[in-house]
Amino acid sequence: NRMADLVQHPNQLMFTDEASRDRRTQQRKFGYALKGRRCTVRRHFVCSSRITILPVLTLEGIITYDLIPGPVNSERFLQFLRELVIPLTNPYPGP
């Protein structure tokens, strides 16, 4: 309800989130075993680089994104906003 008071139409909203991916993303951290038996998992050690994606989502879908090798800090996130997001915006109260 508070957002409805601030925004005249949903097309004024933009959402962003950080997601990352590397070769270890799909490795399980937990497993199942018979009662009284220890769960063991055999896997190969993988040392790979992490890639972070910063997408911006609106009612029209993903309008821009940035793929960044490694983690994202606040300085890099602000650079993403200045270079890729702000140019796509309009003055309030426009969409």
Q: Residue 27 burial (CB < 10 Å; 0-12/13-18/19+)?
A: exposed
- Find the domain containing 61 and state its range: 2-26+37-88
31 in any annotated domain? no
53 in any annotated domain? yes
Q: In angstroms, rounded to a whole number, what is the distance separating the alpha carbons of residues 30 and 35?
A: 15
32 in any annotated domain? no
95 in any annotated domain? no
Residues 18/54, Cβ–Cβ less than 8 Å: yes
Q: In angstroms, rounded to a whole number, what is the distance separating the alpha carbons of residues 53 and 20?
A: 6
68 in any annotated domain? yes
Do you find a cis peptide bond into 93, omega within 30 degrees of 0? yes
Average pLDDT over residues 77-81: 93
Given phi > 0 = left and psi -120 to 50 = alpha, else beta, which region is 8?
alpha
User: Which pair of structure tokens corresponds to residue 58?
Assistant: 């609106």
Identify the pLDDT of residue 36.
87
Considering only residues 95 and 19, tell me which one the structure prediction assigns the higher pLDDT: 19
Number of domains into which the chain is organized? 1
Please write the tens of the pLDDT for every residue from 18-68: 887 766 555 566 677 788 888 776 665 555 677 889 999 998 899 999 998
